[in-house]
Chain A
Amino acid sequence: MMKRFIHKGYFAEVFRQLRVAGIVSSVILMLVNLTTFIQLVSATNYVGTASVFDIPSGQSLAAPMKVFVYVMGAVLTFNAFGWLNKRSASDYYHAIPVTRTQMYWSTILAILSWMAIGLAAYSVVHALIYLAFCAPFNYLLFLCVFVNMLIGALEVVGAAAIACAISGTRFVNFCAAIVILFAPRFMLTVLSGFVDLVSPDNTLIVNTISILFNPTYNIIATPYAGIIQLFGGSRISSIISYSNGWAMLYNFAYSCVLLVLGCVAFNKRRSEAAGIPTTNKLFQGVIRTAVGLPLLMVLVYLILEYDGVPSAISIVILVLLSFVGYCLYELISTKSMKKTLKAMPLYSICIGIAALYLFLPYLINKAERSIDVSEKNIKGYQVASESDDDFFAALAHIYLSGVDYSSVATKDIKFTDPESLKIIGDAYARSTKDYGKDDSNPMYDSNHTNLTVRIDRKHGRSITRQLEFTEEEYRKLSELREKNEEYKRVFYEFPKGRLYCYSNNIGFADSRKLLATFKEEYEKLSNEDRLSLSSDNDYDYGNLTMSIFGCLGAENFSCMYKINEKTPETHRMYLEIINEKNGQKGMEALNKIREWMEKGDEDRRFNIDIGTDYSMEYWMMHYTQNEVTDKLPKDTDPDYYKIVKIFCNAGLTNDVNRAKVITVNTYSIKSITEGSGSYTFALDISDSDMIDIENLLSSYYYFDDSIDWEFE
């Protein structure tokens, strides 16, 4: 069976032929890891250790890899099938006693082997870097990204293989591959963008309408989904969920279809087609049309966006440019003016498609809005706001290294109580009726709360919508959710999965101890106390906090807890750790700051974060020595100097009742590493001194939203 598809000798030869491209690509892929290395080095320099903020997300893992993996796939494929473009080479290979099928699949296997080697090289180096820095790493997610990349590469290889099989010059190979790879998804993504554009309200989450509108279901789609956001599809996700098994399966099947089509085309390919742009008139027409379409799509966008006909000059320019591109492609690829002239009337196909795109978005919108989501037809709902299908939640994956634990852990819980379903039904009716897109955006309506829900209907498919709830509705819905035992249990439980704790520069070993102690204390608390400890603010000033990051399966999550009198043992341990680790160096840093203020040093910068029980977050920032007056910092900012002196005279303490935790950051503008440091430690400062500090600082700054804080 295997022999029918793979010829060992031929595979070995192609593998050998690709070795230069394969080795170079693998080395480049390994070097891509430098970005990770630099990221971790800088994190280590800044906070003393690689931080949990560096837990890789699907996007951060895939981003550097993606371009190289896909380019590698294309380069290897064009290289391996390059002989199809040269007559003598084509004749040579066609004379070899190996079947076309064997030839094709052996070549594909050789390409994929090099891709796997490149990806494996990347992965091993990547994992080793994380291991070397003792940084947390989500192996399962990484595996998912690896598989996704391989599937994506498979898709690129399939598209490039088809392109090589149906065309006979490098130029057309390239154009054909681009069209095969991107055109179908591009057109779908443009359509989804237009659907979003003409949507009269924000309830419709376009990505959830169909898998064809969801970039996760075509991992190659990401780059231009980003572009579509600029053209009206502001809520079209360009973010891929790498742990979506169904999407992986879909993408794999799609890649397989491309590869099989490549095989069919390769089998039909004639040796004499080498050097001829394309022998397939239909496909030549498809590429030509694809070249002509993008600018017409811009025109459609302008019409849809401005609800009317754009200026005549813009129409003329766009159509003209599109037509020129269309003809130019034909001329370059066929080198025949006669064929170009013959193709000109067929430009009307481009116009026809553009016309279709003017109406299709409205039709889809109408169809989606006619879906029955009345209370009677709702079977249940799930909170989907943190789902990967949601653009905003997906964004959170990038910026927050994961969504919060309860969202991840409860996302599959379905709520079916009639009261909730009524609220959902009412909210749906109101959300879709009350607001016009332009006159009111519920997202920014302070009297309402938006929640994205996945609605399971009794008749028909499930739908995901962003609904707007009144405060009363939202509160009621939350209460009703808490009546669900499973939800309640998960909501209050201590996060499960692989956990990493982060608290200002204390390192991973100490973080683990702290985490274990906190967990022990947390589990003894009542639900009420547990809730009071949970903090949903990244900048919860005035409280000691610890962040917990983790992975539940392949999904990252994060949550933040306060450390206070409810967890005394954790509090004490935390103070011990920070003072032992940073106390001495922190005091030295404070004395250096004092010295600098007394003697002056243009190179120095510092800030002191007093984020303790006093709920203060004052930053003291000095730039250079006052050039106008030539005065020293202690004279230009005497109050700062007094505060620094207070800190310098205070001693370290581990007493939970007296300790004031400060963080001192010092910088040097001449060198990244020299004189730089960040130290969090606990000082024994009397209450009267603390009041003095507060008064001194308040004369400089007062909290006002209008102040644009400038930090260097």
Chain B
Amino acid sequence: MITANGLTKKFDSFTALNELNCKIPEGCIYGMVGSNGAGKSTLLRLISGIYKADGGSIEIDGKNVYDDPSVKKRLVFVPDDLYFLPRADLVRMAKLYSSVYENFSYDKFKKLTATFKLNPNANIGTFSKGMKRQAATILALSCNADFILFDETFDGLDPVMRNLVKNLLYNDVMERNATAVITSHSLRELEDTCDQLSLLHKGGIIFESDIDNLKTSLFKVQVAFADEYDRSRFDGIEMLSFTKHGSVSSLIVRGNREETAEKIKAMDPILFEILPLSLEEVFVYEMDALGYEFSEVLKQEVE
């Protein structure tokens, strides 16, 4: 388990992470979303031991990561700004990785290279952006690390490759009970990938939840009654939002779907429908409930 306690990181006068707390359990895919400068990359770099925390701690199974190879061996980090050794090909990179990662598997490396159809002997410098991302993914997955950290995972990949990477990631987590921590600007990207999701804003996690739980506990209800009514009719149901157009109302409800359905059906509506929410919608309403302006937290997403 990755545990951050009061984690703080500053760059001169800029505070990238401010007393951040989080727990990332083993065997899950943990997504982090946030706008530029929210602190996602900084958090990943702290988890991977690149940065030293200015305050608080970041631990993996109770051990501090910074400059401790025994912990670092258990995790592999694919940054957003990829770096490869000068004039290196995949084979040379694999050689370095195999010398520093005890669990590095050449078999897996070969399989993945074939899957991605990359020439292992070609200079990585000549690869396109997407191919470089693939190369980094191959190397990272070949390390068989317990924790796989991806920053802007799908940046530069075409849809086919995105799916391929997602599937490979699922398999790794499933087969080896590995933990993947991935970041993205895009909620949609993470929606069908992650088990858990957190939203970072101004150096802190402002929202964290299980995705299934998020999606099932928050839903949209469309309802209409023959008589005149207002919001008060739904007292007893936890609503995050209520809008009414004519006789039809839209409710964003948090709670048990079946129980809510029974309660509304008992009111004898002339129209009743429960609709699922997209993750983005869930976030919008949750943010509103927390008092954040969603468009401010995830500007790019809205734009």
Contacts and interface: CB of A to CB of B under 8 A. Distances in A.
Contact of A270 (B52, B73, B98): B52
A97 B69 contact: yes
Given A17-B85, A98-B69, A99-B67, A10 B49 contact: no
A92 B72 contact: no
Considering residues B52, B71, B99, B101, which has the most beta carbons from chain A within 10 angstroms of its beta carbon? B99
B290 interface: no
Contacts of B96: 9-10, 13
B51 interface: yes
A12 interface: yes
A270 B53 CA distance: 11
A88 B101 contact: no
Interface string B254-277: 000000000000000000000000
B67 A91 contact: no
Interface in B1-52: 11, 45, 48-52
Contacts of B100: 7, 9-10, 96-98
B120 interface: no
B50 A95 contact: yes
B15 to A, nearest CB: 14
Contact of B79 (A92, A97, A100): A92
Contacts of B122: none
Considering residues A7, A17, A102, A272, which has the most beta carbons from chain B within 10 angstroms of its beta carbon? A272
Given A17-B86, A99-B67, A10 B81 contact: no
Nearest to B99: A9
Contacts of A92: 79, 83
Contact of A94 (B11, B49, B71, B95): B49
A17 B85 CA distance: 8
A97 B50 contact: no
A96 B72 contact: yes
Contacts of B101: 97
A343 to B, nearest CB: 18
Contacts of B51: 270-272
Nearest to A16: B92
Nearest to B84: A92
Q: Which secondary structure dominates where chain A touches chain B? A: helix
Interface in B65-105: 67, 69-73, 77, 79, 81-83, 85-86, 92, 95-96, 98-101
A95 B72 contact: yes
A8 B96 CA distance: 10
A87 interface: yes
Considering residues B52, B83, B101, which has the most beta carbons from chain A within 10 angstroms of its beta carbon? B83
Nearest to A267: B67
Contacts of A344: none
A267 B66 CA distance: 11
Considering residues A13, A95, A97, which has the most beta carbons from chain B within 10 angstroms of its beta carbon? A97
Contact of B11 (A9, A267, A272): A272
A86 B77 CA distance: 17
B85 A88 contact: no
A266 to B, nearest CB: 11
A89 B83 contact: yes
Contacts of B48: 95
A10 B100 CA distance: 8
B82 A271 contact: no
A92 B71 CA distance: 16
B50 A99 contact: no
A272 B41 CA distance: 12
A17 to B, nearest CB: 7
Contacts of A96: 72, 100
Given A88-B79, A88-B82, A99-B69, A94 B50 contact: yes
A207 to B, nearest CB: 45
Contact of A87 (B49, B81, B82, B85): B81
A471 B92 CA distance: 77
Contacts of A7: 99-100
A88 B81 contact: yes
Given A17-B86, A87-B81, A8 B50 contact: no
Contacts of A95: 45, 48-50, 72, 77, 79
B73 A8 contact: no
A98 B96 CA distance: 11
Contact of A91 (B45, B69, B85, B86): B45
Interface in A57-89: 86-89
B12 to A, nearest CB: 9
Considering residues A12, A96, A100, A272, which has the most beta carbons from chain B within 10 angstroms of its beta carbon? A96
Interface in A1-56: 7-10, 12-13, 16-17
Given A94-B50, A272-B51, A8 B72 contact: no
Nearest to A94: B50
Contacts of B71: 97
Contacts of B50: 91, 94-95, 271
A88 B83 contact: yes
Contacts of A10: 96, 99-100
A636 B97 CA distance: 86
Contacts of A9: 95-96, 98-100
B85 A13 contact: yes
A91 B49 contact: no
Contacts of B92: 16
B100 to A, nearest CB: 5
Contacts of A89: 83
Contacts of A17: 85-86
A100 B72 CA distance: 12
A88 B71 CA distance: 21
A8 B99 contact: yes
Contacts of A272: 11, 51
Contacts of B81: 87-88, 91
B83 A91 contact: yes
Nearest to A11: B99
B73 A97 contact: yes
A252 to B, nearest CB: 29
Contacts of B83: 86, 88-89, 91-92
Contacts of B67: 99-100, 267
B53 to A, nearest CB: 11
A685 B95 CA distance: 82
Contacts of A97: 69-73, 100-101
A16 B88 CA distance: 11
Contacts of A86: 83
Interface in B89-134: 92, 95-96, 98-101
A94 B79 CA distance: 12
Nearest to A97: B72
Interface in A183-198: none
A8 B83 CA distance: 22
Nearest to B50: A94
A87 B45 CA distance: 12
A10 B49 CA distance: 18
A416 B125 CA distance: 75
Contacts of A102: 69
A98 to B, nearest CB: 6
A83 to B, nearest CB: 8
7 closest Cβ contacts across the A-B interface?
A: A9-B99, A97-B72, A92-B83, A97-B69, A88-B83, A88-B81, A97-B73
Given A10-B100, A102-B69, 6 more contacts: A7-B99, A87-B81, A88-B79, A88-B81, A88-B83, A95-B48
22 contacts: A8-B99, A9-B99, A10-B96, A10-B99, A13-B85, A13-B95, A13-B99, A17-B85, A86-B83, A87-B81, A91-B79, A91-B81, A91-B83, A92-B79, A94-B50, A95-B49, A95-B72, A96-B72, A97-B70, A97-B73, A97-B101, A98-B69
Interface of A: 7-10, 12-13, 16-17, 86-89, 91-92, 94-100, 102, 267, 270-272
